[in-house]
Amino acid sequence: MLQWTFFVSNHVEPPLIDLYHNRVLYPPEQRNTVVADKAEKELRESLVTLEQELACNPFFGRDQWGMADFMVASVLYLLTRINTDLTAYPKPDAWLVASINRPAAQSARKLRET
């Protein structure tokens, strides 16, 4: 679990936040396209790693959805909020859709997004 927690904390979340800030959150006049493009490139490199892992195992916790998956899903969820196209990464795309459609995730999102 720690491996994936550290991976998303260090390699996915920072570029994802930069991408979100500079493509969505900041007013257009404050957005930095150079930062956004660099962040997107870094993020896509990390998505390749996630694709490779999910090609070998159905979950980041190996045989069943667990805490490692929760940690990764918690970070990757922002991709759905900024409408990131994940078709080049079919395994993480399908895994994320399944993860956010879990009953517990749906209940949590209702509390947060209403």
Per-domain residue ranges of the chain? 2-113
* CA pair distance 16, 41, nearest whole angstrom: 10
pLDDT digits (tens, 9 = 90+) for 35-63: 999 999 999 999 999 999 999 999 998 89
71 with 5: CB under 8 angstroms? Answer: yes
pLDDT digits (tens, 9 = 90+) for 51-97: 999 999 999 988 999 999 999 999 999 999 888 999 999 999 999 99
Whole-structure pTM value: 0.88
CATH number for the region 2-113 comes to 1.20.1050.10
